[in-house]
Structure 1
Amino acid sequence: MNPSLIDQIGGSISPSELNLSAELQSVIAEWNCAYQPIIPLDMTERSDDEWRSTIHRLDTRGLYLAQMIADELADEAKVEYYSEGLLG
């Protein structure tokens, strides 16, 4: 699945549509690939210690990526992170 960001007004938008740097787009794509095995898991599976640790590690990275996106967009957008693993 290709990574996408959510614009609160316009809906799903790709990192390339935001004109993010190629380097940041690549890092986002790698992070997204690492997150994909979590998506089909139910909440019981996600609460397993190993998966919970993986989700925490990926969410920590995701928060950092959100800050990198905000830095590249400067004052053009408010960037928030949503944890798919924790559904919140």
Structure 2
Amino acid sequence: MMMSCRAASRLLSEQQERPLRLGEQLALRLHLSLCGNCLQFARQLTGLQLSLRQLSQQQLDDAGPELSGDARARIAQALQQYKRR
């Protein structure tokens, strides 16, 4: 018996969080080969995941891994004052 679309969409979502077991993978592949709607959903999930990764990376890049010189000086000054206490 073929997997339902509901079960396929559940597995498509779950594979974002965990590796699917072999039986789940095979059943999902069979379903996707026969169901254009679920195949489209799978493509949309993949696109969403890729977009989120790119957005996360862009935010990390924009934030920059280093502090400005002024920020470093303020932190150093605060640490010195803390040590004097």
Larger Rg: 2
TM category (shorter chain) comes to 0.3 to 0.5
Higher share of residues assigned strand: 1
What TM-score comes out, normalization by structure 1 length?
0.37
Higher share of residues assigned helix: 2
What TM-score comes out, normalization by structure 2 length?
0.38
